[in-house]
A and B are shown apart, each in its own frame.
Chain A
Amino acid sequence: MEGLLSVSVGTVFWASIAFISVLLILKKMAWGPILKTLEEREQGIANALKQAELAKEEMASLKSGNEQLLKEAREERELILKEAKEMGDKMRSEAKERAVSDAAQLLANAQREIETQKKAAIEELKNQVASLSIEIAEKLVKDNLSDAEKQNALNSRLIQDLKAN
């Protein structure tokens, strides 16, 4: 049949109109919105992936930051403890030293006081012995000046007394 390899003007006419109209209709109604949305979706997915990656990185950096912070805090605590201990030790040793020196001071003072008191007492004793000696000497002189024998007896008694003292 001639229909197979011949070109019909009418068919070409309808095919042109039909194909061009479907092209224009679909371009406006379908391809435009579809391609636009596909692009948007792809961009959305790409953005979401990028953001997820960023969030992951941020999380990792946050985690390492936390660890850093924790480490610093621990170091600081140790430092504070060490300082406190040092200060405590220092205070204790200072207190001890002060106590020792105070005690020494007190002891020295007491000794000095004792010394002074002793000296005063010896002085007073010396004075009293002197005045007693003078009284005795007075009595003796009064007695012994009358009697020689008595004078001797008195002498020996006094000497005896002295010895007894």
Chain B
Amino acid sequence: MRSFLMLALMICGVVVFGQHDAHTVASHSSIDAASHKEAEHAEASNEEEKFNPGDMIMHHISDAHQVHFIGKLYMPLPVILWNHGHLDVFMSSAFWNGFDERGELQFKSYTASSGATYENHHESIVISAGEEHAAHGAETAHEKPMDFSITKSVFGMLFIIVLMIVIFRSVAARYKEGAHKAPTGLQNAIEPFILFVRDEVAIPSIGKKKAASFMPFLLTVFFFIWMCNMFGLIPFLGGFNITGTLSITLVLATLVFIITSINGNAHYWGHIFWPPGIPLGIKLILVPIEALSIFIKPTVLMIRLTANITAGHIIILAFVGLVLLFGESSAVAGYGVGIGAVLFMIFMFFIELLVAFLQAYVFTLLAALYFGDATQDHHHEEDHH
């Protein structure tokens, strides 16, 4: 309960310092919009003074090559590029070109050791078309190197993974001491969730015997998603949106697909490609649908998680945007709306804390159900009918 209060206080903090932050964000996104035409850059950033909540929200939930904490506080991240046989590794701070008069981060091109010149174009790295193109501000089809950078989401994910290894190793050390020790400390906090995944998710979906082999994956997925979700809710930490990054949920969903397919028994595949006891005509309709569902299931898993977490971030940020939008017209209106918006944000944060757990649970449960489906015995199936 105390941590919730802390969180609520921190949200209030966001609003108090929000004015400063909003200008940074607004002008930053204005540059993004303007960077299509390099020549109009300075003019455009001066011109576009209005706060754009859409851009602010997208800036927060999108992946980036640096972590933006607050104001001028940025953390550079490694940029790793594979460009036609050349590997370029440098920190993303190489793109930084100081701040403009409103504390706005400016970008410049960077020539790496391989000789190639790169630009940070809407947070996707492109190869510079050359001096004259840049000088003329010509619209060019930017060529992109293979980008293996440690982006904000990748960094957040790696942080969570290190955290997971540290936490679960220390917890496991207690378990290694033997079965006859009463659980203590962190073990007490973790154990109910391990038991929850085992007894409420894995065993009912897969069956007691087969559940054991899927437990490591289910536990890892559950804690990974949950911790990533929670990490994304901490304000001032760069607005990590790890589980809202499609590339990451894609990997999780693909793993679910691979594990399901590898473990799928004859009964599972038989039901998809030649369902028993159904007339031939219906079979011809059903089989393509069933075959498609193999891919649809993990795809839905991926989209559900990304959409839920991203939506949560968008809602909270929308309330922040609301305050800033009103604050732009008058300070009184800003503070007035702020009070209501903060109350709504506190409410939303509670919802998001629930959603963070719920989505981890739903993903794990559905993965377990798919595994259970794939490994189901024939007679087991008949028992249910």
Contact = CB atoms under 8 A, between A and B. Distances in A.
A40 B63 CA distance: 44
B143 to A, nearest CB: 15
Contacts of B59: 1
A20 B248 CA distance: 12
Contacts of B250: 7, 12, 15
A104 interface: no
Interface stretch (B18-26, B156-164, B334-342): B156-164
Given A15-B248, A26-B220, 8 more contacts: A4-B58, A4-B61, A11-B154, A15-B251, A22-B161, A34-B171, A34-B194, A44-B180
A161 to B, nearest CB: 133
A31 B165 CA distance: 11
B291 interface: no
Contact of B219 (A7, A16, A31, A33): A31
A15 B157 contact: yes
B359 interface: no
Contact of A10 (B61, B146, B178): B146
Contacts, number: 134
A59 interface: no
B150 A14 contact: yes
B257 to A, nearest CB: 13
B175 A3 contact: no
A118 B224 CA distance: 138
Interface string A12-49: 11111011111101110111111111101100100000
8 contacts: A1-B58, A4-B62, A10-B149, A10-B151, A29-B165, A29-B169, A31-B219, A34-B172
Classify the secondary structure of A's interface with B. helix
Interface of A: 1-16, 18-23, 25-27, 29-38, 40-41, 44
B165 A26 contact: yes
Given A2-B124, A34-B175, A37-B178, A23 B165 contact: no
B375 interface: no
A11 B217 CA distance: 20
A12 B252 CA distance: 10
Interface of B: 32, 58-59, 61-64, 80, 122-124, 146-151, 153-154, 157-158, 161, 164-165, 168-169, 171-172, 175-176, 178-180, 191, 194-195, 198, 212, 215-217, 219-220, 224, 245-248, 250-252, 255, 310
A49 B189 CA distance: 25
A20 B62 CA distance: 24
A30 B171 contact: yes
A9 to B, nearest CB: 6
A35 B172 CA distance: 9
B370 to A, nearest CB: 17
B195 A3 contact: no
A34 B247 CA distance: 31
B154 A14 contact: yes
B250 to A, nearest CB: 6
A20 B252 CA distance: 10
Nearest to B220: A23
B247 A7 contact: yes
A44 B179 contact: yes
Nearest to A40: B179
Given A9-B146, A14-B157, A23 B122 contact: no
